[in-house]
Amino acid sequence: MGPVTHRTYFELGDDDRSALGEQVGRQRARVVDRLREVKRVVAVISGKGGVGKSFVTAALARSLVRREAQIGVLDADLQSPTVARLLGAAGPLHVTDDAVAPALGTDGVRVVSTDLLLDDGRPLTWRSGAGESHVWRGAAESSVLREFLADVAWGALDVLFIDMPPDAGRLTDLATLLPSKLAAIAVTIPSEESARSVHRALTAARDTGVPVVGIIENMSGYACGTCDTIGPLFTGDAGSRLSAAFDVPLLARIPFAPRGGGMTWLPGAVVDAVLHPGNGA
């Protein structure tokens, strides 16, 4: 039997009953509908782990709540969720007809995180016995992220913070789901290594068209609890260098304060920069 010539997909005039493209389109429309009352979405990015990104996300959320803003936090670090605990949020999550109510943190921050779904000490795993999970795991994580956006009753928010995982690629997923409204804040520590990783994350944001509100340098010195001074902790000036390289403001330097452990309040200028971007704060 020789080669068979036949019509191709676009040459067949009848509908594609599966209409997978339309199904995906409806999923994205659901995200947009759900976030209609959310004024802005701010992804907290770093490009590397261990810089205190979740700590800074929690500090941002609580600092804005003190200004009576309505704040939500979506923990997109699905594999290593920590921000729910930092905000004092706990499950279970209540399911209604068309949405899941977010958990409430101690300050009233609305929170959703895989930390609320997983057994203590257990990693994120999937029920599927399909195997070859490397093929579909990334898509599964994207679907969870999409559902956290689309199916949680976020309500009216001034800002929805998204605590991003260390890898820069997830920001692209987010930008696909939220072509408008999305901005980013980058968190770094002063070191050269951090500067290089955060540089990549900022480049990804720029390439994806996500505007960057600014940079926060965490662990920027050591705040002595007894003599009230700030001493050196890491060498380097990543915050200043990244600020200059990407022409975005260095919003704050947060010293490491072991006794402060619970909470850091961010300066009013940072709160203003997040609530009112573009005002030169």
- Which of 132, 209, 258, 259 lies at the binding interface for another protein (CB under 8 A)? 132
Q: Does 226 bind another protein (CB under 8 A)?
A: no
- Which of 29, 37, 49, 92 lies at the binding interface for another protein (CB under 8 A)? 92
Question: In the bound complex, what is the minimum distance in angstroms from residue 92's beta carbon to another protein?
Answer: 5
Cβ closest to another protein, residue 4 vs residue 227: 4
Beta bridge partners of 230: 223
Cβ closest to another protein, residue 32 vs residue 118: 118
- Which of 2, 36, 130, 261 lies at the binding interface for another protein (CB under 8 A)? 130
Question: In the bound complex, what is the minimum distance in angstroms from residue 173's beta carbon to another protein?
Answer: 13
Cβ closest to another protein, residue 20 vs residue 227: 20
Among candidate residues 159, 126, 122, the one with its CA nearest the CA of residue 140: 126
The residues in 5-44 that bind another protein, with binding defined as CB under 8 A, are 6-7, 9, 12-14, 16-20, 23-24, 27, 30
**How many positions of this chain bind another protein (CB under 8 A)?**
52
Strands (E), 169-274: 182-188, 212-223, 230-231, 250-256
Cβ closest to another protein, residue 9 vs residue 262: 9
Type of residue at 40 = R
H or E segment at 72? Answer: strand 71-75
The residues in 135-194 that bind another protein, with binding defined as CB under 8 A, are 135-136, 139-140, 143-144, 146-148, 151-152
Q: Does 113 bind another protein (CB under 8 A)?
A: no
Name, in order, each residue with C-beta under 8 angstroms of 30's C-beta and a sequence gap of 6 or more. 150, 151
| Residue bearing tokens 């920069």 | 273
Burial 123-132 (b: 16+ CB within 10 A, else e): ebeeeeeeee
The residues in 228-247 that bind another protein, with binding defined as CB under 8 A, are none
Question: In the bound complex, what is the minimum distance in angstroms from residue 202's beta carbon to another protein?
Answer: 30
Stretch that binds another protein, among 51-59, 115-123, 172-180, 208-216 (CB under 8 A): 115-123
Structure tokens at 258: 């072991």
Q: Does 90 bind another protein (CB under 8 A)?
A: no
Spatial separation of the C-alpha atoms in residues 19 and 104, rounded to whole Å? 38
Question: In the bound complex, what is the minimum distance in angstroms from residue 135's beta carbon to another protein?
Answer: 6
H or E segment at 45? Answer: strand 38-45
CA atoms within 13 A on the CB side of 266: 26
Check: CB of residue 247 under 8 Å from CB of residue 240.
no
Structure tokens at 4: 């068979």
Q: Does 68 bind another protein (CB under 8 A)?
A: no
- Which of 49, 126, 176, 225 lies at the binding interface for another protein (CB under 8 A)? 126
Among candidate residues 100, 95, 32, 37, the one with its CA nearest the CA of residue 70: 37
Spatial separation of the C-alpha atoms in residues 166 and 185, rounded to whole Å? 13
Q: Which residues form the interface with another protein (CB under 8 A)?
A: 4, 6-7, 9, 12-14, 16-20, 23-24, 27, 30, 91-100, 114, 116-119, 122, 124-132, 135-136, 139-140, 143-144, 146-148, 151-152
